[in-house]
Every structure is written in structure tokens, then in C-alpha cells.
Amino acid sequence: MELVEEYSAIAHASKPFVAGQSPVPVSGRVFDSSDVKSLVDSALDFWLTTGRFNEEFQQKLAKRVGVRYAMTVNSGSSANLVAFSALTSPLLRERQVPAGSEVITAATGFPTTVNPAMTQGMVPVFVDVDIPTYNIIPELVEEAITPNTRAIMVAHTLGNPFDVGKIADIAKRHKLWLIEDCCDALGATFAGRHVGTFGDIGTLSFYPAHHITMGEGGAVFTSHPALRRAMETFRDWGRDCYCEPGKDNTCQRRFDWQLGELPHGYDHKYIYSHLGFNLKITDMQAAVGVSQLEHLEGFIADRRRNFDLLKSGLKPLEEFFILPEPTPNSEPSWFGFVLTVREAAPFKRDAIVRHLNDLGIGTRLLFGGNLVRQPYMTGRNFRVHGSLANSDTIMNQTFWVGVYPGLGDEHIGYVVEVIRDFCVAQARGV
């Protein structure tokens, strides 16, 4: 391990920032020798499926977000798939969500918040979002409810919590399931509670762009035993058995079950009560996750610091941009710094995005913009409630830059300088 630490210091040493030459990406992995050593430790076990590191990671993650159960999966997209699929489980009895039900969601966001519902034969109902929080509007959610509505599934945009107090109250009063997509929001809180704990299920992503990373990976979390069981079986092939990898007969009844039309005594390891998948991670991924969790508080602080530096640096440019605002009563764990070019600005979104990218400053659009305009939605069964004017504005005028912990004061200062100089030049007609 001493050799691993020595190697890591040499091979992964940071490079000095040179304005105009060094890239300023929107996101990226941030790690040190402790992460590399944890990965090597797990590799030396050569236990290639989930094992001791995964168990440790799940326990620590559940404690950090404040729930009873956390379960790893192989991506944030899989987390959303497992979370929504759980709502279709017969284990939920009268609350099982049948195909054809409506699921309310935001028109602006990432497709994998919506896709699981469509995969399960549901009808997404799209409502508009607010600017400058970029989150779903609670009043529109309640207006969109019909007798066929069974669930609400929505993301906390760029680490900024939506008004989950109001949304959770709506879900409770109308007896709807609520899934919180927290893939961009690990560490964010609303009213002092971690996001994902107000609804029935929360989801996370550990892709390198996210708050902590294990390469590919994600998690679902809940405090509901029935939902935990349903998510576990959807993740693990749809099997009825709940033995951990490498273990047998946890139930002490392996050859005493009779389910479906199978003969009595059919091996429980091969009884399937759900349609399912294999969406587990490896223990090597979990080992990186365990060590990354140790960095999380510092990562969150760095993201908030970078956000604040951008906010103060760009505040003099509010005649050109709508600057982002946190949702009232929340403490975001920022994923990015989002800017909407004003209608009256002397330039368009595409012009400044191209300029920033030409100078090495990475940008991203706000994911899918207005999702109903995406080509894959053509011919699909969905419903729109109300106007999607803000979602269209975001589609045409919004972009974001990075705040991730790999960026220091020099990076942020350079971003502010480049944006300021561009705006001044455009205002002068240069």
C-alpha cells in the first residue's frame, strides 16, 4: 500500500492551471491516494461481485442520507429503473401501480428520470418548471392530477432541491408514490433533511461527473421494507431468493417453497417473482465508493464555494443573464452553475457557448431541455399539462458551467473574466 500511495502521488499529480491553456471542464472525478489504495485492496481480494466493501458502502450511505436501507446498482439510470419498477411489484398489493397509469414529472430534465415509467407502460404527464430555480412547480403538479395518476417522479435540478415539502404533501394527500431523483443532489437538504427522504424512494448516481464516483454506479434508498424488497428483486434478476452473492439458504427453506405453478421444493434460488435484471456493481467499485464517502463533506463545501464565487463574480452581468437561485428553505449541493441568456441580451446562448468552448471552458445545456421536443418522444403516449413556456426558454437560452471540486479559484476567476469580457464586447457591438 505504501507503493500504491507513492505511485498515485506520481501518476496522478495535479498540474498547475494556466489561463487560456488549461481546460476548465464542467465536471470530473476528484480522488487521492486513499481512493486508489481502497481500489487495490478490493482487487487483491479478487471477489469480483458485491462483497464486503459493498456492504460497508450501503450501510454508510444509508446513515449519511438518513434512511433505513440503501442499495447499490450499476448506474443512476439503473437506480431510476429499479426505483420505478418497484412501484409495479405485487408486493405492494392494492398500491401496485398498473400499466397505463399516469406519472407526473418535469418537462425539463434528464431523460432517465422519465424513461423508466414509459418502459413500464405508464403515461408521463409533463408540467413546467420555475426559473431561476429550474425546478418543477408544485401548483402545476396538483393541477395535473387525475383519477389515473399514481406517482410523481422528479429530479432535484443541478443539486438545487425542488420544493419537496409541498410536493410530498401533495403526494400524501392524493395517495401517490413519490420518487426523488437525487442523482445530481447528494448532500442537498430541504428543511434540514436530506433530499430523497421526503418521498418513498430516492436515487443517486456515482458516475464521474457526480458528487462522489465509483466510475459507473448508483444507488436507491428508502425506509420502506416492502419497497426495499421489491427493489432488491428487480435488481437481482427478479428472483424471489434474497441470498447475498456466494451464500445459500439464508431463508433456511431453500427446498421447501411452492410458488406459482412450480412443483413443491423447486430450488428457491431459481424462483422468479418479478420481471428483473442484473444491475449489481462490483466490490471494486464499492471500494472506491467507501473511500469517496470520506471526501463527501469537503466536496460539497467546494461546490458551494465555487457556486458562490461564480454568483458574486457574475452578479454585475444580470442585465445579460438570469442567475440561479436556491429554492427557499433549502441548502443545495450544487452540481453546476446555470445561466439563462435574457431575451434583451445582445447575443444568443449558442454564441457564448461556442466562445467559452473555444477558450477551453466546458459548458453543458440543461440536459434534454424540453423533453417533449426530443426526437425519441415522437409518437409516444404522454400528456402535457399547461404551458411549457419556461421549459422552451431553457431549451433555447440556458446553459451551465462547472462548480465541481476539481476547480479552484484560478479556474473560477478565469470563467468569470471570459464571460465578462464577452458580454462587454457584445454590448459594444465588437
- Residue entry with cell 462547472: 402
Cα separation, 260 vs 237, whole angstroms: 17
> How far apart are alpha carbons 307 and 74 in whole angstroms?
29
Alpha-carbon gap, residue 93 to 87, rounded angstroms: 10
Out of 12, 174, 194, 210, pick the active-site residue: 210
Closest CA to 350 of 365, 361, 368: 365
- Is residue 308 within 8 Å of 302, Cβ to Cβ? no
- The C-alpha cell at 75 is 448506474
For residue 422, how far is the Cα from the chain centroid? 32
Other Cβ atoms less than 10 A from the Cβ of 138: the count is 19
Q: Find out whether 70 and 91 touch, Cβ atoms under 8 Å.
A: no
Eight-class DSSP state of 74: S
Nearest-10 crossing angle of helices 76-86, 225-235: 120
Spatial contact of 176 and 150, defined as CB atoms under 8 Å apart: yes
| Strand pairing report for 336-341 and 398-402 | antiparallel
Among residues 138, 142, 186, which one has the least CA distance to residue 165? Answer: 138
210 flagged as catalytic: yes
CA distance 103 to 53: 36
Q: What is the DSSP string of 231-259?
A: HHHHHBTTBS--PPTT---TTS-TTS---
Which residue is associated with the grid cell 444568443? 348
In the beta sheet, which residues pair with residue 129?
A: 136
**CB-based contact 140:92 (threshold 8 Å):** no
CA distance 300 to 235: 29
Per the CB < 8 A criterion, the answer to whether 265 and 274 are in contact is no
| Residue (of 172, 158, 213) closest to 367 by Cα position | 158
Query: Whole-angstrom Cα distance, residue 78 to residue 418?
Result: 38
Strand order in the sheet with 189-190: 193-194, 189-190, 330-331
For the annotated catalytic residues, the residue numbers are 210
